[in-house]
Structure 1
């Protein structure tokens, strides 16, 4: 009898759309109206039942807004080496749908929304016992997604809707085997006194004994791994959640049957930022900890993946804190909204099911008193009739015309990364992450390669996908280096870099007419670091001494490689090919006797390093910052190049011999361009060219030209 009842209920659930029919939206009576979802008490048959009612926003009853992800909410690990936070967001709409009963009709929702609705029906009494019935605003249900004019209007009002809501409920999805560790971390850090944060030693993450005399969060590596798993759920990468969480008066985070206030999570993220422990929170570092190697527990596959806290959650919380301030708790208006350009740059990492939402999700959060809205209040209105290419091109046009400069060109991704077809090469593809970030984020330097020369926009040609620029052709690239991930041999990249340095003629080009001329080694390390060390520009001369130590470490590593193996010790020497072995000695021997990098200095430093190694006192940890500079300025994403005129620079990984280096009016850094068959140019990317970053080209008396980038 019980089995028959279960089967009967299952059959009814599966065939509800035949019994009740599909829900049809009634058009909203005015642009200022919204729909609110009213949940009915949960049914013992398991079906979610609700009503949709229409209100003028200013007359709406108290309601809460739901923030969630349409697709799979869980972090997914698909292989031992690759971690996927979710399925491709572009495929979310194709996921299986489940029926709910709305106004006695059927609406199909995703599995995650179905779970969220069941959570809300369970959670509502505890959130607000006196509030009956419970009203919610949920984007996929309260907007008619098939009605494009309505969707345009409602998306434009989403900021007002979230500001009007009593609170936001963040649904992260069901619990998993990592959730409890995450909650332990959040609860522990939220109780940790804020005034003690600056006193927590950086290294005490690994050695709590380093925190003697200070309060220290008593958390295990497993607790932190659980937090990393939670913070990597897809919700934290959604574009829309930035607006949703930033504008909420308050927010409750729900994961399965567990809930906590956003303020606790915010405090945890702020602690990680203050202590810089986010440097440690990366599985590529944690997997080497002996405790985790011997007993990884449920985190075995997590440790094999590339998982980190990342900048996304930190920027998400930072944006909310800028808007909230101290006044939000008293419900006083705070006008600290960021400009649109800053939002698009900061949250470039975010994802959206519809690529157009990478723009539209930030319009309501942007300060309307700043560019581009200050001079053009009606710019960039949501319009889902436009293609993604049209939305991105119009965004670039509006921003560049408003700011009257070409700094946005530094935010164009490498051509090999562009996903959208038929997108002008000067328009950023916001549908993908930007890696590496623009050179201007390297430090406090304010590069002005074009000096005070201004750019005059031709907005008419920009609407056709063509960017007219005034500029100077500096040189042509004739040699390029190999990137770290382009050869199986670890020394090949450095060999090609040294080869470029050896090819430099001295004196190095000096358009600035400087009295002191740099040597080849100095030009090399200043170019590889974009002349920045630890946020200092130009990099202090001591950085050159660190570079010599770095060379020594590379030499030792490469020399010892033939005698080592993961399986057996090989007591024989296998010479590396001359074509891939770095000619460091040749480069250093060419240094003058007065150079701080000459062969005698190198030999003395080598003797000191070897002696310290034998004594057990040598540690290369001091090179960590220099390695960080190399990773940020070059690494696997920027390619070193030399020009015919003898300049050394670093630029996009896609650049190649024959590409041209230009300085464009209104651009802070040089640009690498490639001529097309039609005579126009393709933008390859920004570049750092040593000796040409501060308007020096004005001393070269080059002819000014007008070209078109398309």
Structure 2
């Protein structure tokens, strides 16, 4: 006779009660047997609590169609294959092991409980004595990969030896195993960011192999420093080759938590935007354990994505007293139903974010001369509009083709150059040839070096290495299809999927792919970057962030003082 399906005992509402999975020991490879123990996180020192040490599992659910039946308090309970493999790996031969694992410890069928338990996940992972990263069962050379990664962290590899290692076919196969390990879906998932960042200690498991988190990160940093040699090898084996970048990103979040005990909501949201999750609302809820008590967003899976993303944008703006969150908007068509000023966290980046939080201070601030003044208004259709004060700097008069492919790179860059010559030659007082070149080359690289510093003269001078011979133009043609320089790399990062434009009064800029003639270049007070806004009836829409040369460091404050520009209020839908 089949065992009855499991029925959860209810947890006390408005408390820190959770369920802990108790894995029963065995000497034999038999059915996995577990039980659930209800405990309060506030009372773990109580003698009635049956454990003094618990761990939390960080893993991916995996294929939802394949299930394994385990015994949970004597009842049948189905879990995914990946979790079953983790439980088999972790159960002891003697003594119980206590583990918090979301798929079992939360009644996933109870939406109210799911809301309250997800809100506690940050506390659960902070309190655990250890977080176990489970990368899955041994496969695709993972055992050899884990051993190689551990070896790198122990002895390292001298600079210059990487190419020799990769050229050796024996070593090449081992590095391909490493690529496959970093191709596992774990590195792309939303929730693991929080789980890793909040952990007191971390151990990494794959099959029967184990290593420390520090060892894995040292190897990831090594691969990052040797990307040019490693990526071609990795690309032969897998479409996704940047899992080691994700690992480094998790470690950066971890360092931020260790330093400040929290991370700004805007930073986490933008980090999670490029991650994967089954429920897109988790792009917000997966961030809440990292952001501290100053951000008040209630977990409610009864709300739709539009409401949750809007609430998150409002919370990010209010918690930082900054409108920089709006600069992440690249969703003008609003097919999702979101307001144009709310970042669509489900959509991948159309173009690389121009300024990161960590380098805003070194790169100036367009609207930093004034404090932001803003409010939110609920409209009749239920959506919120953003009302903010700012300045219209100019109107776009001409836009060039978008740079989106190496196949048209030279032709597109020639079109950009021609517009720059036309716009800058008409300025009064006139610019020197050196000033025109500097203006154009700084604009197409957003005036930023690879390491996030303001572009130096030496960095901009690298464009001369790409100049086509025989030109006497003030801004000579450059061919960026060939030659590896930091200038070329930065151009490709910032200019891809963007357009070069000119304004009526002679400004030039690097703007969003949706920019068109008649759009406004505006600065919202306090904002780091200018925005391209589009006027529509009695309101405006956010087209996207922009680099506009000559207004990036608060220069328009003087124009406001002189009265040539005026502060106005925008209502942005």
TM bucket by the smaller chain?
0.7 to 0.9
- What's the RMSD between the two structures over aligned residues? 3.4
Q: How far apart in 2 are the matches of 1:696 and 1:64?
A: 54
Query: What is the aligned partner in structure 2 of residue 10 from structure 1?
Result: none
Give the Å deviation of 1:423.
0.9
Runs of 4 or more consecutive aligned structure 1 residues displaced over 6 Å after TM superposition = 514-517
Matched, 1:120 2:90: yes
Q: How far apart in 2 are the matches of 1:317 and 1:448?
A: 28
Matched, 1:135 2:98: yes
**Deviation per residue, 1:180-208 (Å, 9 max, x gap):** 34223212112126xxx8xx43x442147
Give the match's secondary structure for 2:448: coil
Query: What is the aligned partner in structure 2 of residue 69 from structure 1?
Result: 60
Matched, 1:22 2:13: no
Give the Å deviation of 1:44.
6.8
Residue segments in structure 2 that go unaligned for 5+ positions in a row: none
TM-score, scaled to structure 2: 0.86
Matched, 1:281 2:206: no
Contact 2:133–2:205 at 8 Å: present in 1 too?
yes
Judged with a 3 Å threshold, the aligned counterparts in structure 2 of structure 1 residues 505 and 147 are, in CA distance, closer, same or farther, namely: same
Higher strand share: 2
State which of 35, 46, 51 in structure 1 corresponds to 2:35: 51
Query: What is the aligned partner in structure 1 of residue 121 from structure 2?
Result: 158
Q: How far apart in 1 are the matches of 2:365 and 2:29?
A: 68
Query: What is the aligned partner in structure 2 of residue 547 from structure 1?
Result: 463
Which has more radius of gyration? Answer: 1
Q: How far apart in 2 are the matches of 1:353 and 1:115?
A: 21
Give the Å deviation of 1:688.
0.7
State which of 302, 317, 325 in structure 2 corresponds to 1:408: 325
Query: What is the aligned partner in structure 2 of residue 311 from structure 1?
Result: 245
Q: How far apart in 2 are the matches of 1:453 and 1:542?
A: 32
Give the Å deviation of 1:456.
1.7
Q: How far apart in 1 are the matches of 2:29 and 2:165?
A: 52
Give the Å deviation of 1:393.
0.7
Give the Å deviation of 1:627.
0.9
Give the Å deviation of 1:340.
3.1
Query: What is the aligned partner in structure 1 of residue 542 from structure 2?
Result: 683
Matched, 1:427 2:342: yes
TM-score, scaled to structure 1: 0.70
Query: What is the aligned partner in structure 1 of residue 19 from structure 2?
Result: 35
State which of 465, 469, 472 in structure 2 corresponds to 1:589: 472
Judged with a 3 Å threshold, the aligned counterparts in structure 2 of structure 1 residues 253 and 546 are, in CA distance, closer, same or farther, namely: closer
Give the Å deviation of 1:498.
2.6
Give the Å deviation of 1:430.
2.1
Range 336-345 or range 112-121, more displaced: 336-345
Judged with a 3 Å threshold, the aligned counterparts in structure 2 of structure 1 residues 207 and 475 are, in CA distance, closer, same or farther, namely: same
Query: What is the aligned partner in structure 1 of residue 195 from structure 2?
Result: 244
Matched, 1:652 2:512: yes
Give the Å deviation of 1:497.
1.7
Query: What is the aligned partner in structure 2 of residue 83 from structure 1?
Result: none
**Deviation per residue, 1:100-157 (Å, 9 max, x gap):** 3322323232222222223233xx34xxx5xx22222110111111222222221222
Contact 2:263–2:292 at 8 Å: present in 1 too?
yes
Query: What is the aligned partner in structure 2 of residue 706 from structure 1?
Result: 569
Give the Å deviation of 1:158.
1.6
Query: What is the aligned partner in structure 2 of residue 572 from structure 1?
Result: none
Judged with a 3 Å threshold, the aligned counterparts in structure 2 of structure 1 residues 172 and 651 are, in CA distance, closer, same or farther, namely: same
Q: How far apart in 2 are the matches of 1:538 and 1:267?
A: 29
Judged with a 3 Å threshold, the aligned counterparts in structure 2 of structure 1 residues 134 and 541 are, in CA distance, closer, same or farther, namely: closer
Q: How far apart in 2 are the matches of 1:189 and 1:99?
A: 39
Q: How far apart in 1 are the matches of 2:133 and 2:212?
A: 10
State which of 695, 702, 707 in structure 1 corresponds to 2:554: 695
Give the Å deviation of 1:425.
0.9
State which of 216, 223, 229 in structure 1 corresponds to 2:180: 229
Query: What is the aligned partner in structure 2 of residue 109 from structure 1?
Result: 79
Count of residues in Structure 1 that have an aligned counterpart in Structure 2? 554
Give the match's secondary structure for 2:122: helix
**Deviation per residue, 1:355-393 (Å, 9 max, x gap):** 22222222222344xxxx1xx6xx113222222221111
